[in-house]
């Protein structure tokens, strides 16, 4: 015992810390894995009693492998927090029939299964976003706010939320239906008029209200159309940072996306002014443009360049129509609020020229652009690998073409084949014909050899 004490006490502290970390990982790893269950074909029969968050994956999928450590963290976090959501994963290639029943079309696919309902997760694949989605969807579609304190609490916690105010009504029934459909995107609450703060004044009840941008806006069936489409349009803040994923989500709202392309890391005076102008339009001209436009800014032009297959200067302003891949750019640099308002108005009335689109020419151009971008990215990341992947096939094809073009027929072999196909008499006749064509008749010796044995005896 003393030997082990002196042995370990002589170790440097760094070595002891490393050994402690290794043993901790070995001991805790089975516990972490236990938080995520591997599901099989019995899952369909046993899942109805619980709420499940399931990752449908394929073993060969690179994105699935990248999600795996995040998924383990999600399982551990939900277990430790006491959430009723159980976390599992299923090999969709091994259980393809069950995956197709759940509507799995790609990998990885994240679904929350609650009773007969299945909700797709379309957010960023980060631990916090996935957990927030699970906790939101696992609960009731419409959450009640019994007091003013609870109302003030949720206002501080959520940047966008929807609230039904009033008693039982057909509007409330419709609100519950919409909430069950769109709970994957945002939060839905209900409250009585007494739970609202004094700053919220509603003209009539019942009412559906959205709180965002430090303000609130009431749903009007006559002006806003169906409640579902209105909620879908209003579930984003009026102005927000935009990246590739956010742009994909905004496409589901049916709005045009007005983007100020700026350099956030090294902002110039023009970038700051352009960003400020588009923020003013979003805040001060909501009644005019909110129904048709979503406003925001994007850091850098790399994603936009790949999207529209053209070079966009920084800073610049453009409007994207995600439904048909068209885009609009002002003919002159925007320097004032009036110029920006005129540009947005021209996009709405159709006088602004549209570029891009989803026609046949643009699709061919897209294929060529994507192929070129892929090749260039391979060569930039690994020149040797690029030379091997693209140089080797081109070299083989070149050699094949060279061999085909320089190939010559072998006359000798053709003649030999012809002679093998001839009988002995035909060969003698062919030889005689060749001699005659060569310029002379066969000599007497040859004629003698051509005589048959009976003729020789007579002579």
DSSP one-letter code for 350:
T
Confirm whether 64 is a catalytic residue: yes
- Tokens 């709405």 locate to 348
CA angle 406, 410, 412 (to 5 degrees): 160
Q: Give the whole-angstrom CA distance, residue 74 versus residue 130.
A: 7
Q: Which of 64, 387, 401, 405 is catalytic?
A: 64
Confirm whether 61 is a catalytic residue: yes
Q: Is 201 exposed, middle or buried (0-12, 13-18, 19+ CB in 10 A)?
A: exposed
The order of strands in the sheet holding 316-321 is 239-241, 293-299, 256-262, 316-321, 326-328, 355-356
Q: Give the whole-angstrom CA distance, residue 359 versus residue 435.
A: 73
Q: Give the whole-angstrom CA distance, residue 459 versus residue 431.
A: 26
Q: Give the whole-angstrom CA distance, residue 210 versus residue 217.
A: 5
Q: Is 86 exposed, middle or buried (0-12, 13-18, 19+ CB in 10 A)?
A: buried
Q: Which of 61, 387, 401, 405 is catalytic?
A: 61
What is the DSSP code string of 50-106?
SEEEEEEE-TT-HHHHHHHHHHHHHHHHHHHTT-SEEEEEEETTTTHHHHHHTT--S
Tokens encoding 314 = 């920084």
Q: Give the whole-angstrom CA distance, residue 331 versus residue 333.
A: 7
Q: What is the SS3 string spanning 192-232?
A: CHHHCCCCCCCCCCCEEEEEECCEEEECCHHHHCCHHHHHH
Provide the angle, in degrees to the nearest 10, between the axes of the packed helices 62-80 and 127-138: 60
**For strand 293-299 and strand 239-241, is the pairing parallel, antiparallel, or unpaired?**
parallel
Question: Sign of the C-alpha dihedral, residues 427, 433, 437, 442?
Answer: positive
Q: Give the whole-angstrom CA distance, residue 74 versus residue 281.
A: 39
Q: Is 301 exposed, middle or buried (0-12, 13-18, 19+ CB in 10 A)?
A: buried
Please name every residue paired with 86 in a beta bridge, in sequence order, or none if there are none: 52
* Segment holding 259, helix H or strand E: strand 256-262
Tell me how crowded residue 12 is: count the other CB atoms within 10 A of its CB. 8
Give catalytic residue positions: 61, 64
């Amino acid at each position: 015992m003393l030997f082990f004490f002196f042995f370990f006490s002589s170790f440097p502290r760094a070595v002891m810390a490393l050994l402690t970390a290794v043993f901790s990982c070995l001991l805790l790893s089975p516990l972490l894995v236990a938080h995520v269950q591997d599901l099989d074909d019995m899952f369909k029969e046993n899942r109805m009693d619980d709420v499940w968050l399931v990752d449908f994956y394929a073993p060969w999928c690179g994105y699935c492998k990248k999600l795996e450590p995040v998924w383990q963290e999600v399982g551990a976090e939900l277990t430790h927090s006491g959430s009723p959501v159980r976390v599992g994963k299923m090999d969709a290639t091994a259980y393809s029939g069950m995956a197709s029943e759940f509507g799995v079309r790609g990998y990885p696919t994240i679904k929350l299964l609650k009773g007969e309902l299945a909700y797709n997760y379309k957010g960023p694949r980060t631990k916090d976003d996935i957990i927030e989605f699970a906790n939101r969807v696992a609960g009731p579609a419409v959450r009640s706010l019994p007091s003013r304190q609870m109302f003030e609490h949720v206002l501080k916690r959520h940047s966008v939320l929807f609230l039904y105010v009033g008693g039982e009504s057909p509007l409330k029934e419709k609100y519950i239906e919409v909430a069950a459909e769109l709970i994957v995107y945002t939060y839905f609450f209900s409250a009585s008029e007494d739970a609202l703060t004094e700053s919220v004044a509603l003209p009539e009840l019942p009412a559906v209200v959205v709180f965002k941008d430090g303000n609130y806006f009431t749903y009007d069936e006559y002006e806003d159309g169906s409640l579902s489409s209105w909620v879908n349009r209003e579930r984003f803040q009026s102005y927000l940072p935009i990246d590739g994923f956010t742009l994909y989500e905004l496409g589901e709202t049916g709005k045009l996306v007005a983007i100020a392309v700026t350099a956030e890391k090294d902002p110039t005076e023009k970038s700051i002014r352009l960003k400020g102008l588009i923020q003013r339009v979003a805040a001060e001209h909501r009644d005019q443009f909110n129904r048709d436009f979503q406003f925001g800014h994007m850091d850098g032009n790399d994603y936009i360049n790949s999207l529209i297959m053209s070079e966009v200067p920084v800073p610049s302003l453009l409007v994207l129509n995600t439904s048909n891949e068209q885009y609009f750019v002002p003919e002159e640099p925007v320097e004032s609020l009036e110029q920006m308002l005129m540009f947005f108005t021209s996009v709405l009335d159709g006088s602004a020229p549209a570029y891009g689109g989803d026609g046949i020419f643009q699709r061919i151009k897209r294929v060529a652009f994507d192929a070129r971008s892929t090749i260039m990215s391979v060569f930039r990341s690994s020149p040797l690998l690029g030379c091997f992947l693209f140089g080797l096939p081109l070299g083989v094809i070149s050699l094949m073409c060279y061999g085909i073009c320089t190939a010559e027929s072998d006359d000798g072999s053709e003649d030999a084949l012809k002679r093998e196909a001839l009988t002995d008499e035909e060969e003698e006749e062919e030889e005689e014909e060749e001699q005659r064509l060569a310029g002379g008749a066969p000599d007497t010796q040859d004629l003698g050899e051509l005589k048959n044995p009976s003729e020789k005896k007579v002579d």
